Amino acid sequence: MLYHVRMDVNIPLDIDKQKAEEIKATEKAYSQELQKQGKWRHLWRISGQYSNISIFDVENNEELHSILQGLPLYPFMNIEVMPLNRHPSSIRDDDS
């Protein structure tokens, strides 16, 4: 099942720099593992923003929430979720 998720990241300016780098590295590994599993289907950067647009393909709302809550950057994020459907005009097999 597909979800459209926008994540806006706001890391406080006074955070310890090394700690911030560690969190970002953990975030990257966490994201890439979920991409390999096919659960984090797409991931794009919004130009000029510390924000991304992601498409998740998960079993249900529970799995989505569990993944988002587990994001290492979760405490610094504002997250918006929209459930998606296959569009009746879509011709792509992998858009549903």
Structure tokens at 36: 């390999």
* Residue 68 in the binding site for a second copy (CB under 8 A): yes
* Residue 64 in the binding site for a second copy (CB under 8 A): yes
Handedness of CA 86, 77, 27, 21 (dihedral sign): positive
Smallest gap from residue 84 Cβ to a second copy (A): 4
* Residue 75 in the binding site for a second copy (CB under 8 A): yes
* Residue 8 in the binding site for a second copy (CB under 8 A): no
* CA–CA separation, 87 and 13 (whole Å): 41
* Residue 18 in the binding site for a second copy (CB under 8 A): no
* Residue 95 in the binding site for a second copy (CB under 8 A): yes
SS3 state at 60: coil
Q: Which residues pair with 9 in a beta bridge?
A: 77
Residues sharing a CB contact under 8 Å with residue 73, sequence separation 6 or more, in sequence order? 7, 9, 11, 23, 24, 27
Contacts with a second copy by CB under 8 A lie at 1-5, 12-13, 27-28, 31-32, 35-36, 42-49, 52-53, 55, 60-62, 64-65, 68-69, 75-76, 79-92, 95
